[in-house]
Structure 1
Amino acid sequence: MSEVSADLGTGRASVGAVLDYAWTAEQFTATDVMASTSLTRSTAIEALATLVDARVLQELPNARMAGSYRGGRPARRFALSPDLGVVVGMDAGDTHLAVSVADARGDALVHHRVEVDPADTPTERRASIERHLGDALTEAGRDRADLLALCIGVAAPVDRYGVSPPHPEGFWERTNPGLATALAEWAPVVQVKNDAMLAAVAEGAHGAAVGCGDYVALLAGLRFGAGVVIDGNILHGAHGGVGEGVAFDHVVGVGSAFGLAPLLRDQARAAVEGGEIAATSAVGHLLDGERVDARAVLDLAAAHDPDAELVSARVGEILARVVGVFGSVYDPARVIICGAIAESIEPVLAAARTALPGQLDLPAPQLLASPLGAEVVSLGAITTARLAARSLAVPLLAERRLARA
């Protein structure tokens, strides 16, 4: 077995150390590698040569050829090979499907987001996922042979094997219709994860939890679901159920796992029907049959409409109870509201911050809105897929290439 697999248990660790550095760097020199890894020059150059031979790295034109040479011997420059392969991150929600294709460095090549029918059967949902996956790869000019790793987030608990437990109403089976098996042949590494867990990955890598080891990423749009990170580790559970929102069915003052958008709708409607808000008011005009535009309520609250502020305050009190549960059980430093609703949620957060200290005895966690928007799960899936590509797929690919050389 070649030294490329050093980080898989055998061979020389120098190649793994150089690959670790190259995975997050752009263009670099042997001197850069030495400074980052503490390898000697000869060891660094030998490891670089191995990775170039495996076509994991490419050697770039030197400074003289690139036109930036200013005297002395030009340094050799390296970067990840552009034809190393691609990774895919998917967000398979109840009503949407997002597919992102990125190169090995994580640069986006294609991103699709489509609405899907929540009444789809498991067979129909599985076929839709595979179809959109194939279409995205085709648009990126790639095929299965180029796919290093695939990670898909689903709105269900997921165990360590990518399997969701049965749900009393079949919901989890629809959102995760045997995907670990169905997608197994698509890539060397296929991972199925809970969507909130992937949101936590994204927040820790790119969002409001960078540098924080204790936080909760709360997907809170349509339903509550949380990814929990404590002492720098994502908590999982026997069935992947840590942070599952059904717990709030049993919390006094919350009463269900429905998220912030339904809560805004319900509180607005209740205030109008109870006579606290006039049907002819700005909030009253938002009522349309069974639907209320939650974003519009939040926009009115941000503009200091008193009726919308009333609705936001009441939802903030409910959110404070939700956050208080997480604060008491996990003692996080931060709770981050994730998803598309985070962009407008500040009026609710302001009210929740006021109410939160009364919900727990421990110091209240900092309550923040995610900066990552609607694609937080896709971003977490891409981040997870890149990690899997680095640790598993790329070393195996390099070994095969070196064996054929």
Structure 2
Amino acid sequence: MADVSTGLGTGRASVGAVLDFAWAAGEFTATEVMAGTSLTRSTAIDAIDTLLDAGILRELPNARAVGAYRSGRPARRFTLSADLGVVVGIDAGATHLAVSVADPLDRVLVHHRVEVDPLQPAEVRRATIIAQLETTLAEAEVPRDRVLALCAGVAAPVDRNGISPPHPDGFWERTNPGLAEALRDWAHIVEVKNDAQLAAIAEGATGAAVGCRDYVALLASERFGGGVVVDGHVLHGAHGGVGEGVVFDHITGVETAVGLPYSLQDQAREAVAAGEIAPDGPVGLLVAEDRIDPRLVLTLAASGDGDALRVAERVGAVVARIVGVLGSMYDPARVIVCGAVAESIEPVLAAARRILPAEMHLPAPQILASTLGAEVVSAGAIATARRAARERAVPLLAERRLSMRA
């Protein structure tokens, strides 16, 4: 239930119940609130009136006024106010930066994604994020004081205060350059979270894990990282490190935490070097390039090219080993491979599914490709910001508005 402060008076529990109901209801009547919350009619109407006074709800024209009611007294109808504010989601990846501005319910108003230098110093990265945030809000024509909640996802473990631990090479400090402090005054509620955990939140909200209580979102872009959900709860850890990919540096048959695009390149080159693939074939010619586009290899595999399928099989063995480790540690029902590469990864996953049962004693989880694409972290950041707006920012906004009227 929304955490409605004591500033809303003795009826704060009923006001919170009505506010919770309103988020999912769209248009509603007091009778529908009673049925959905078990409040009495007088209590429901008092709570609705309180939220109307605060400008959190607005009353709609009655059914007779819009020609939809013929006789009797039409019921009053309500909905959430359209001008509560916005939420912001930031995906601060190793090589990209995406900023989204959305309404608190279901629409993304503006979304911008740009490439960034992974070796940017922390102070430059911080300034880049702030500049992109300013630009995106300006395009959405939203003043800064209307941001209800903001969530930023970073490619680093993050503790509950939004702070990342030190990394031996400074990577975590660069990807999370003090964002909790830098963004503190940009919204009523500011959260900084690990990107794989946000991918897991996105998959549970609108992706391949809807209705599933035990799953891992395996973010497989620049590096592997897992967002782990057990019994319906996202696991975190003391420093936000649950699912951190460095463990794969130490797993035989994996030996690295670098993501699937690099694994496809490496396995293609190794197959050519081992004589498994002819250097003058389609895949062999790709290997001659400085950097292999993994989508081309996967497209060839999907079309039935034997050499590309051989590469997909080798990468599938790596994925099976990774999923086997995650499956043995967390016992998920599903492992969902996320990121831009997921759009074309099916040949690799088909191989992984064949290999996986031999990697585990427990029943093997389903291995699925995410349908949320490259913006899965942005989707998780928006979902997290919306939840913060619903549970914390909007009740605080109601309290402030009523205090000003008192």
TM-score relative to the length of structure 2: 0.96
Identity across the alignment (%) = 69
Tell me the secondary structure at the aligned position of residue 270 of structure 2. helix
In structure 2, what is the equivalent of residue 307 of structure 1? 307
In structure 1, what is the equivalent of residue 143 of structure 2? 143
In structure 2, what is the equivalent of residue 279 of structure 1? 279
Residues 272 and 279 of structure 1 are in contact (CA less than 8 Å); yes or no, is this contact kept in structure 2? yes
- Partners of 2:225 and 2:238 lie apart in 1 by 17
Residues 5 and 16 of structure 1 are in contact (CA less than 8 Å); yes or no, is this contact kept in structure 2? no
Residues 94 and 222 of structure 2 are in contact (CA less than 8 Å); yes or no, is this contact kept in structure 1? no
Tell me the secondary structure at the aligned position of residue 209 of structure 2. coil
Residues 223 and 259 of structure 1 are in contact (CA less than 8 Å); yes or no, is this contact kept in structure 2? yes
In structure 2, what is the equivalent of residue 28 of structure 1? 28
Name the aligned partner's letter for residue 194 of structure 1: N
Residues 312 and 351 of structure 1 are in contact (CA less than 8 Å); yes or no, is this contact kept in structure 2? yes
After superposing on structure 2, the runs of 4+ consecutive aligned residues of structure 1 that deviate more than 6 Å are 6-10
Residues 156 and 194 of structure 1 are in contact (CA less than 8 Å); yes or no, is this contact kept in structure 2? yes
- Partners of 1:102 and 1:180 lie apart in 2 by 20
- Partners of 1:388 and 1:9 lie apart in 2 by 22
- Partners of 1:9 and 1:120 lie apart in 2 by 50
Q: Deviations over 1:145-198 (max 9, x none)?
A: 100010000000000000000000000000000000011011111100000000
In structure 1, what is the equivalent of residue 169 of structure 2? 169
- The structural deviation recorded for 1:286 is 2.1
In structure 2, what is the equivalent of residue 114 of structure 1? 114
Select between 288-297 and 114-123 the one with higher mean Cα deviation. Answer: 288-297
Select between 379-388 and 55-64 the one with higher mean Cα deviation. Answer: 55-64
In structure 1, what is the equivalent of residue 262 of structure 2? 262
In structure 2, what is the equivalent of residue 199 of structure 1? 199
Tell me the secondary structure at the aligned position of residue 187 of structure 2. coil
- The structural deviation recorded for 1:384 is 0.6
Change (3 A) 1:216 1:400: same
Q: Deviations over 1:175-229 (max 9, x none)?
A: 0000000110111111000000000111111111111111100001221001001
Select between 391-400 and 87-96 the one with higher mean Cα deviation. Answer: 391-400
Q: Deviations over 1:341-374 (max 9, x none)?
A: 1111111111000100111100111111111111
- The structural deviation recorded for 1:288 is 4.7
Change (3 A) 1:276 1:62: same
| Residues 1:392 and 2:372 aligned together | no
Residues 6 and 16 of structure 1 are in contact (CA less than 8 Å); yes or no, is this contact kept in structure 2? no
In structure 1, what is the equivalent of residue 38 of structure 2? 38
- The structural deviation recorded for 1:109 is 0.7
In structure 1, what is the equivalent of residue 190 of structure 2? 190
In structure 1, what is the equivalent of residue 57 of structure 2? 57
- Partners of 2:288 and 2:83 lie apart in 1 by 52
- The structural deviation recorded for 1:104 is 1.6
- The structural deviation recorded for 1:91 is 0.3
Residues 106 and 386 of structure 1 are in contact (CA less than 8 Å); yes or no, is this contact kept in structure 2? no
- Partners of 2:8 and 2:364 lie apart in 1 by 41
Tell me the secondary structure at the aligned position of residue 142 of structure 2. coil
TM-score relative to the length of structure 1: 0.96
| Residues 1:333 and 2:346 aligned together | no
Residues 7 and 399 of structure 2 are in contact (CA less than 8 Å); yes or no, is this contact kept in structure 1? no
Residues 88 and 99 of structure 1 are in contact (CA less than 8 Å); yes or no, is this contact kept in structure 2? yes
Residues 4 and 11 of structure 1 are in contact (CA less than 8 Å); yes or no, is this contact kept in structure 2? no
- Partners of 2:347 and 2:9 lie apart in 1 by 51
Name the aligned partner's letter for residue 399 of structure 1: E
Tell me the secondary structure at the aligned position of residue 272 of structure 1. helix
In structure 2, what is the equivalent of residue 221 of structure 1? 221
- Partners of 1:137 and 1:348 lie apart in 2 by 39
Change (3 A) 1:34 1:351: same
In structure 1, what is the equivalent of residue 91 of structure 2? 91
Residues 22 and 79 of structure 2 are in contact (CA less than 8 Å); yes or no, is this contact kept in structure 1? yes
Taking the TM superposition and a 5 Å limit, the aligned residue runs for 1:368-383 are: 368-383=368-383
In structure 2, what is the equivalent of residue 367 of structure 1? 367
- The structural deviation recorded for 1:70 is 3.4
Name the aligned partner's letter for residue 173 of structure 1: E
- Partners of 1:71 and 1:294 lie apart in 2 by 65
Gaps of 5+ in 2: none
Select between 62-71 and 171-180 the one with higher mean Cα deviation. Answer: 62-71
Change (3 A) 1:185 1:114: same
- Partners of 2:185 and 2:153 lie apart in 1 by 18
- The structural deviation recorded for 1:44 is 1.5
Select between 201-210 and 32-41 the one with higher mean Cα deviation. Answer: 32-41
Gaps of 5+ in 1: none
- Partners of 1:270 and 1:260 lie apart in 2 by 15
| Residues 1:297 and 2:297 aligned together | yes
Aligned residues: 403
- Partners of 1:9 and 1:287 lie apart in 2 by 69
CA RMSD of aligned residues (A): 1.6
Tell me the secondary structure at the aligned position of residue 166 of structure 1. coil
- The structural deviation recorded for 1:7 is 11
- Partners of 1:8 and 1:223 lie apart in 2 by 47
| Residues 1:236 and 2:236 aligned together | yes
Residues 7 and 391 of structure 1 are in contact (CA less than 8 Å); yes or no, is this contact kept in structure 2? no
Name the aligned partner's letter for residue 267 of structure 2: Q
Tell me the secondary structure at the aligned position of residue 277 of structure 2. coil
Residues 89 and 152 of structure 1 are in contact (CA less than 8 Å); yes or no, is this contact kept in structure 2? yes
Q: Deviations over 1:92-112 (max 9, x none)?
A: 001100111111213111111
In structure 2, what is the equivalent of residue 133 of structure 1? 133
In structure 1, what is the equivalent of residue 251 of structure 2? 251
- The structural deviation recorded for 1:8 is 10
Residues 349 and 368 of structure 1 are in contact (CA less than 8 Å); yes or no, is this contact kept in structure 2? yes
Q: Deviations over 1:272-301 (max 9, x none)?
A: 222221222121232353311101111111
Name the aligned partner's letter for residue 217 of structure 2: A
In structure 2, what is the equivalent of residue 351 of structure 1? 351
- The structural deviation recorded for 1:269 is 1.3
